[in-house]
Amino acid sequence: MTVKKSKSKEITKAVVKVKEGKVEVYTKAYNDTIKRAGNVYSANYSLIDETIVDIKKMSRKVSTSDYAANNVYLILQDALKKITLAEK
C-alpha cells in the first residue's frame, strides 16, 4: 500500500486496523516513535518506573491548591483502577 502525505514525502508501508467500524492507519514511522513498555517475552519496568517518577514530580508541581490537589488525586485513583484492569 502506498500512501502519499505530501509532494515531498511518500510512505510505502502502513498498518490498517479496523476497530468498531472505524479504520485507523498506523505507519511504520509512527510506530517506531512509540516507546514500548514491554513485549511478548518481557516487560520494561524501567520505562514504567520513569513514568511513575515523572507523574510524582508533576503532581507535586501542579498541586498548588486544594482544588488542584483533589483533581490530581481523582485522576490518579482513576489511573490506578485502569492499571488493575491492564492484566485482564
CA angle centred on 26, ends 76 and 33, rounded to 5°: 60
The pLDDT value recorded for residue 73 is 96
The pLDDT value recorded for residue 53 is 94
More confident residue, 67 or 21: 67
Report how many domains make up the chain.
2
Domain of 19? 7-33
Query: Is 51 in the same domain as 28?
Result: no
Query: Is 55 in the same domain as 81?
Result: yes
- Is residue 64 situated within a structural domain? yes
For the entire predicted model, the pTM comes to: 0.53
Query: Is 78 in the same domain as 51?
Result: yes
pLDDT band for 48, please (50, 70, 90 cuts): confident
- Is residue 2 situated within a structural domain? no
- Is residue 80 situated within a structural domain? yes
- Is residue 38 situated within a structural domain? no
pLDDT average, residue stretch 63-67: 95
Side-chain-facing half-sphere of 40: CA atoms under 13 Å: 0
- Is residue 39 situated within a structural domain? no
Distances in Å between the alpha carbon of 76 and those of 47, 59, 69? 18, 9, 11
